[in-house]
Amino acid sequence: MNTTRRGLNRTLVLVVGLIAVASGGAVVWASVSADAHRLWTQALTTAADAVDSAYTSTLVGGGPVSWAGVGTVAGAVILIVLLLIPVALLAHRRSRTVLRSTETDAASGRVVVREGFASDAVTASLAQRADILSTRVVADDVRDAPVLHVAVTPRSQASPRDVADHVAAVGARLDALLDRPTRTYISLHAGLRARLASDRRTLT
């Protein structure tokens, strides 16, 4: 939810909710009204007959295979591929995010520090604080320069200023380790997990 547009999320939730409410209302109406039950039964029968007719008319050579079934499977495969392409492109782009690349006199010739190193280092450092529940670190290229995004979920009773200052200090130590400053974007998230953790700590 945090990485997508809120308007799109709310629209999808609204559409799904309206469909669920309409379906539930139709079921309740059909269960309490004889006329509605008759109309519902007729509609289902008509739909089933239409599906059977379409299936029979699209059989391949009179066999059990239908062109409609083949088209449905092909459409599902194409849809899955189209959904996976943005994910693959995003993962590939992030895997290419280089935080540092320098020439050396060693036999290897080059030292390359990628996103995974920074993510593991920052996550391990922040995991030592008791007032931080979770940390997510990603890097991406923005205007041909690496940018590090550190998303932190602190406990509900933690001081946001203290947490942000600590994350900034960890980023400064990472810059010293890389011998190069890296632009860092810090975001603090107070979600359901933080509230539940606070409730558990209060009960114990």
Q: Is the pTM for the entire model greater than 0.75?
A: no
| pLDDT tens-digit map of 22-49 | 888 888 887 888 887 888 888 888 988 8
Mean residue pLDDT across the chain: 75
Q: Which amino acid would we find at residue 115?
A: E
Query: What is 99-203's CATH number, 3.40.640.10, 3.40.50.300, 3.30.1600.10, 3.30.70.1350?
Result: 3.30.70.1350
SS3 assignment, position 101: strand
Mean pLDDT (whole number) for 63-88: 81
Q: What is the pLDDT of residues 41-71, one digit of tens each?
A: 888 889 888 878 877 777 776 667 777 777 8
99: exposed, middle or buried (Cβ count in 10 Å: 0-12, 13-18, 19+): buried
Task: Give pLDDT, residue 91.
Answer: 61
Q: Are 118 and 128 in contact (CB under 8 A)?
A: no
